[in-house]
Amino acid sequence: MQALRVERLSDDLSGVTLADVTAPVRASGEVLVKVRAASLNFPDLLMTRGEYQFKPEAPFTSGLEFAGEVLEADHESGFAPGDRVMGGNKTGAFAELASVPADKLSPVPHGMDFPAAAAMGAAYSTAFTGLVELGRMQEGDWVLVHGASGGVGLAACDLARALGARVIATTGSPEKRERIAALARPEAVILSEGRFREAVADLTGGRLADIVFDPVGGDVFDESTRCVAFGGKLMVVGFTSGRIADISTNIPLIKGFSIVGLRAGEYARRFPERGAAINQAIRRLAEAGAITPAIDRLLPLTQWREGFEAMARRDLVGKVVFQPG
């Protein structure tokens, strides 16, 4: 079968290649899935460089998450051939077949196609775990979402709006503002360059943000410490800017806010019942038509390079989804 292999770590994708490899053999407890769609996440790009916190040894098959049809499963797994499932196991999604433990899979929401399901998974569970589970977001809260054109950022905007929060989206790319506004329908889209606190203060009538959701870090994080309301939360989601910010601990004390670290995948592994409840809540919202994952481009897996390069160039509004075969 065809699979996208990271043969060796590289900064420029030169170690990545689409190759014919032996199909996975399902082990007991695993489910064998015919992958119909698989979405690209920032960690996939980082893993080609060895820059992600999880560092699989090369060679490995790339791809955090997929959606597809069950081919084989143990009877006790609760899955049967033909079931439509979504999930993933950190690597192995960018291939025609994937075999993963049954607890890494959940049913595709009714009425949702495979590309949308592949695009929804990790982005929405990250957004939900951050905003709802840890952030205790309430209706009417002001939520400031950085990197709003990204998979996780757009999901956070979409979810927060669906749950009745007031969203201010930020982007570092002025040309993306209109597309973010059309897809995420926030109260406003502002630029995250330089000093954006005044814009946040104006939009919120001086209140500032109850939750800041920050996948970008660096200078954006630094300015965000000036944008959190008293009693609010500044959520550390990622570092797409490439810089992990430092903060003096007197700042959250004086301003009365909390810094919350988010690790959505690890949270679901440590608290499997909560992880399942989060997936179920997202599925209900999707089935009710309240949330819609945004896909920037749908590509055959043979065009994997276009997707990876667009992500590295920061040239996306929404997810890249690959279709193998």
Ligand X SMILES: NC(=O)c1ccc[n+]([C@@H]2O[C@H](COP(=O)([O-])OP(=O)(O)OC[C@H]3O[C@@H](n4cnc5c(N)ncnc54)[C@H](OP(=O)(O)O)[C@@H]3O)[C@@H](O)[C@H]2O)c1
Considering beta carbons, is residue 77 or 125 the nearer one to ligand X? Answer: 125
Assign 189 to helix, strand or coil.
strand
Q: Are 16 and 7 in contact (CB under 8 A)?
A: yes
Q: Are 319 and 39 in contact (CB under 8 A)?
A: yes
Is 212 an interacting residue with respect to ligand X (CB under 6 A)? no
* Distance (Å, whole) CA 177 – CA 140: 23
Is 50 an interacting residue with respect to ligand X (CB under 6 A)? no
Considering beta carbons, is residue 24 or 87 the nearer one to ligand X? Answer: 87
- Of these, 86, 145, 184, 311, which contacts ligand X (CB under 6 A)? 311
Binding residues with ligand X: total (CB under 6 A): 30
* Distance (Å, whole) CA 169 – CA 161: 11
Q: At what angle do helices 151-162 and 177-184 cross, to 10 degrees?
A: 40
CA 251 to each of CA 134, 190, 197, 227, 256: distance values in angstroms, whole numbers, following the listed order: 21, 24, 15, 12, 8
Is 282 an interacting residue with respect to ligand X (CB under 6 A)? no
Is 293 an interacting residue with respect to ligand X (CB under 6 A)? no
Cβ of residue 61: shortest distance to ligand X, in angstroms? Answer: 19
Is 144 an interacting residue with respect to ligand X (CB under 6 A)? no
Number of H-type helices and E-type strands within the chain? 10, 16
User: Would you say how long the chain is, in residues?
Assistant: 325
Residues 165-204 that bind ligand X (CB under 6 A): 171-173, 176
Is 213 an interacting residue with respect to ligand X (CB under 6 A)? no
- Of these, 149, 204, 224, 279, which contacts ligand X (CB under 6 A)? 149
Contact region with ligand X (CB under 6 A), list: 35-43, 69-77, 103-111, 252-260: 35-43
Q: Give the angle subtended at the CA of 89 by the CAs of 71 and 67, to the nearest 5°.
A: 45
Is 151 an interacting residue with respect to ligand X (CB under 6 A)? yes
Is 262 an interacting residue with respect to ligand X (CB under 6 A)? yes
- Of these, 32, 264, 285, 286, which contacts ligand X (CB under 6 A)? 264
- Of these, 38, 116, 122, 321, which contacts ligand X (CB under 6 A)? 122
* Distance (Å, whole) CA 170 – CA 174: 10
Is 160 an interacting residue with respect to ligand X (CB under 6 A)? no
Q: Are 67 and 13 in contact (CB under 8 A)?
A: no
Considering beta carbons, is residue 229 or 262 the nearer one to ligand X? Answer: 262
Q: Which of 33, 35, 29 is nearest to 77 (CA)?
A: 29
Is 99 an interacting residue with respect to ligand X (CB under 6 A)? no
Is 35 an interacting residue with respect to ligand X (CB under 6 A)? no
Which amino acid is residue 59, in one-letter code? P
Q: Which residues bind ligand X (CB under 6 A)?
A: 41-43, 122, 126, 147-153, 171-173, 176, 215-216, 237-242, 262-264, 311, 314, 316
